Amino acid sequence: MIRLQKFLADAGIASRRAGEQMILAGRVAVNGQIVHQLGAKVDPLHDDVAVDGSHVKARKKIYVAINKPRGLVCSRNDELARPTIYELLPKEWRHLHSVGRLDFNSEGLLFLTNDGELSLRLTHPRYGVRKKYVATVEGRIESESLGRLTAGVWHDGEKLKAERVRLISAGHSQSVVELELAEGKYREVRRMFEAMGRTVKHLQRVQIGKIKLGELRPGKWRTLTETEIKSLM
Strand order of the β-sheet with 49-51 is 33-34, 28-30, 49-51, 54-56
- The helix/strand/coil state of 207 is strand
- d(CA 97, CA 86) in angstroms, rounded, equals 9
145 contact partners, CB below 8 Å, separation of at least 6: 196
196-214 per-residue burial string, b: 16 or more CB within 10 A, e: under 16? eebebeebbbbbbbebebe
Is 48 in the active site? no
Amino acid identity of residue 165, one-letter, is V
The dihedral region occupied by 151, where left means phi > 0, alpha psi between -120 and 50, and beta the remainder, is alpha
Query: Which among 48, 103, 115, 156 is annotated as catalytic?
Result: 103
Which residues are known catalytic residues? 103
